[in-house]
């Protein structure tokens, strides 16, 4: 599960109705690229005789856009491309975290703090 997806969902649940619309954009992106585009593509494949696959061109387009952005910030092409691909792939893990949040909410489970503990460094 992606704790960032869970955190985005929880943040929006708690503060999304404010004028700032806390985490709205992030949540919209997760649901669009992680669920809606794949479901539309595979759900409408037969109905459109495969033409719906054109919508999948959005994925390389997003990767290109993110890569160009980070290249303009001074990142070398290879690293910018790797970062862009990871930004897109994480959407699927974030979606899992979002779904987990809403399942917890619907089932009445109490939220637990997600924290990471790293071992103390041995400085001797």
pLDDT digits (tens, 9 = 90+) for 14-69: 998 888 899 999 999 999 999 999 998 888 888 888 888 888 888 999 999 999 99
In a domain, 118, yes or no: no
Give the total number of structural domains in the chain.
1
Q: Does 3 score more than 90 pLDDT? A: no
3-state secondary structure of 48: coil
Q: Can you state the angle between helices 24-31 and 3-15, rounded to 10 degrees?
A: 130
Q: How much is the average pLDDT of 77-88?
A: 96
Structure tokens at 84: 């862009």
| Averaged pLDDT score across all residues of the chain | 88
More confident residue, 51 or 102: 102
Q: What is the pLDDT of residue 109?
A: 79
**Residue pair 95/31 in contact by the 8 Å Cβ criterion:** yes
Is residue 113 assigned to a domain? no
Looking at residue 76, its pLDDT comes to: 96
Q: Does the pLDDT at position 111 exceed 80?
A: no
116 part of a folded domain: no
The answer to the question of residue 114 being in a domain is no
Band (pLDDT 50/70/90 cuts) for residue 103 is: very high
Print the domain residue range for 71: 3-107
Phi and psi at 79, nearest 5°, equal -70, -40
Is residue 69 in a domain? yes
Residue 124 lies in a domain: no
| 76 belongs to a structural domain | yes
- The reply to whether 121 falls in a domain is no
């Amino acid at each position: 599960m992606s704790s960032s997806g869970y955190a985005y969902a929880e943040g929006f649940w708690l503060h999304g109705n404010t004028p700032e619309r806390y985490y709205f954009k992030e949540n919209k992106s997760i649901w669009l690229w992680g669920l809606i585009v794949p479901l539309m593509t595979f759900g409408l494949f037969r109905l459109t005789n495969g033409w719906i696959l054109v919508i999948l061109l959005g994925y390389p387009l997003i990767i290109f856009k993110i890569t160009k952005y980070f290249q303009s910030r001074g990142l070398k092409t290879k690293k910018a491309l790797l970062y862009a691909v990871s930004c897109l792939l994480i959407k699927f893990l974030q979606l899992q975290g979002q779904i987990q949040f809403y399942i917890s909410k619907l089932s009445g489970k109490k939220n637990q703090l997600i924290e990471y503990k790293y071992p103390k460094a041995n400085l001797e």
